[in-house]
Amino acid sequence: MLKARLILVLLFVVSFSLATYLQPVRAAREEAGGESGGVLALLLGDGRKMFANQFFAKADAYFHRGNYPSIFDNEPHHEENHMAGEAAHGEHAGEDHDEDEHKLAPAQDWIERFGRHFYPTEHVHLEAGGEREMLPWLRLSAELDPHRVATYTVTAYWLRSRLNKVNEAEAFLRDGLRANPNDPEILYELGRLFYESRQDPVRAKNLWLLARKRWQETEASKETPNKLLLEQILGGLAALEVQAGRPREAIPYLKELKAASPDPAEIQKRIDEILTGAVAPPAKSKE
Amino acid sequence: MNKILAVAGVVIKELYRRKDFYILFILTALMTLLLGSVNLFNDDRIVRYLKEICLLLIWLSTLIIAITTAARQIPFEREQRTIFPLLAKPIARWQVVLGKFAGCWLASGLALIVFYGFFALISASREHTLPAAHYFQALWLHWLMLGIVIALTLLGSVALTTPAANVTIVFILSVGILFVGEHLHKVAGRMSEPASTLVTLGYFLLPHLEFFDVRRLIIHDWPLIEWTYIGGATLYGLAYAAFFLLAACLVFRRKALN
């Protein structure tokens, strides 16, 4: 009887010890991950990052209305994701397009030639609000990999600039910030939203200053820092000052930009224009 | 012809007596409706993801219905020993095979009409248009593809020993052709001999089921396919179905039933 009781006590002690060990481990994992995980994380584990990339590419396939090369095609023209490229550079679809580059290679046999009548082969992009069709895949991509920053910035760009859904774009960017606290790219995109869509230069400036600070903390020390992002942040800050009628305050930003830019002579030209008083406030928004 | 239709009639009755179709249809409908109820950035005009998922489920469901229905026909008759009274009637073995094929194909056609009706309803509720000709082309090509698969399954059911092996092989083969069939020659180009020749041979011999998959055109609202190409695909599909049926008839003619 005593032996049985002792075994019971021993089991209780083992259970308690295990609980005190496992609970902090689990809490630490949840904290480090920044998320509880959800059903998708539970089902897919780290494989969800692979699926997230796949769904991001799927959104680009939708941008091309289903005309997208498979993994068996070794055509180089889809190396750049057009949907993401347009969001990053703000170019309108089709403006900067070499159509010959996107033509299909000649069919090798009658099967391939005949088969091409049963799937899309023309290179076109979604427009006139059709861009909304990409959104489900972008949302799913973000759900699967919340640390994929490009998903938030690209989605926000399409939401605010083409679909006029500024509130939704801001909410999505803030979701991105929660998953990636103080990420300079998301901060920059949020600043762009306030500058271009909400016409709120004060908040845009604060966000871009924070983005610059965060860029210096996180990117500057990297072997290949994202210089394009820094150029965009500094260019935005300089443009803000010029627009606010304080062109001389833009000079420090332009000097910093000159050091990072691949075309310093052009930046120097802009500095000289400000110094000689030849700069007028630019048009407020690109769109 | 009457004998073939009589056998086909029994197969069609079997489809609506069994629960497979109802379960797959309800699952497809439930999943589509569930996904359709998701709020995506407060935009209720987003529809293409829903069309894609609905069509994917339809393709999966009808492939399962067609293969499982066709695979159990002749083995089930042999197992239950009902094949003997059937063949004791004035009916030839090839007529039994053709009857089974016609029954499975027509039953799949009926299932397709229900599935595509649901699909049209879902997309019309969001898009407020009903491109009937597009849907007819998609349904017709889909039905032809199922014809090839059913004929291949019937051939498997008389050539292979168990229905389970037949179902597995035909399902993997069909899905494999749908995914990589059109790319086999590109894959062959990167291989060394003799694998390259074998894969190229497969490319030219296998039925290209992907001809019949026009989901991308339907999802992304592309214009109609020219009817001459639909005619070409029809001839292509019927030729392969006829080839597999002929092979099934030949194998079944010599098959010992006990």
Residues of A in contact with B127 (CB under 8 A): none
Residues of A in contact with B182 (CB under 8 A): 111-112, 115
* Confidence (pLDDT) at B119: 93
Using one digit for the tens of pLDDT, what is the confidence trace for B194-223? Answer: 888 888 888 998 999 999 999 999 999 899
Burial class of residue B20, CB neighbours in 10 A (0-12, 13-18, 19+): middle
* Confidence (pLDDT) at A90: 62
Q: Is the pLDDT of residue B251 over 60?
A: yes
CA–CA dist A207, A204 (Å, integer): 5
Using one digit for the tens of pLDDT, what is the confidence trace for A232-274? Answer: 888 888 888 888 777 777 777 777 777 777 777 777 777 777 7
A100-124 in b/e form (b: 16+ CB < 10 A) is eebeeeeeeeebbebbebbbbeebb
**Is the ipTM reported for this complex over the cut 0.85?**
no
Indicate the pLDDT class of residue B138, thresholds 50, 70 and 90. Answer: very high
| B61 Cα to chain A: minimum distance (Å) | 22
* Confidence (pLDDT) at A162: 84
Between the two ends of chain A, the Cα-to-Cα distance in Å is 84
Best residue in B220, B236, B240 to probe A by mutation, most A CBs within 10 Å?
B220
Using one digit for the tens of pLDDT, what is the confidence trace for A171-225? Answer: 999 999 888 888 888 999 899 898 888 888 888 888 888 888 888 888 777 778 8
Does B185 contact A168 at a Cβ distance shorter than 8 Å? no
Domains of chain B, residue spans: 2-253
For a pLDDT cut of 90, what percent of chain A falls above it? Answer: 3
Indicate the pLDDT class of residue A101, thresholds 50, 70 and 90. Answer: low
Q: CA-nearest residue of chain A to B138? A: A118
Residues of A in contact with B227 (CB under 8 A): none
What is the number of CB-based contacts under 8 A between chain A and chain B?
Answer: 86
Cα-atom radius of gyration of chain B, to the nearest Å?
A: 20
Q: Which residues contact A257 (CB under 8 A, 6 or more apart)?
A: A230, A231, A234, A235, A238, A267
The mean predicted confidence, pLDDT, of chain B is: 89
- Tell me if chain A has a CB within 8 Å of the CB of B235: no
Does B49 contact A119 at a Cβ distance shorter than 8 Å? no
- Tell me if chain A has a CB within 8 Å of the CB of B222: yes
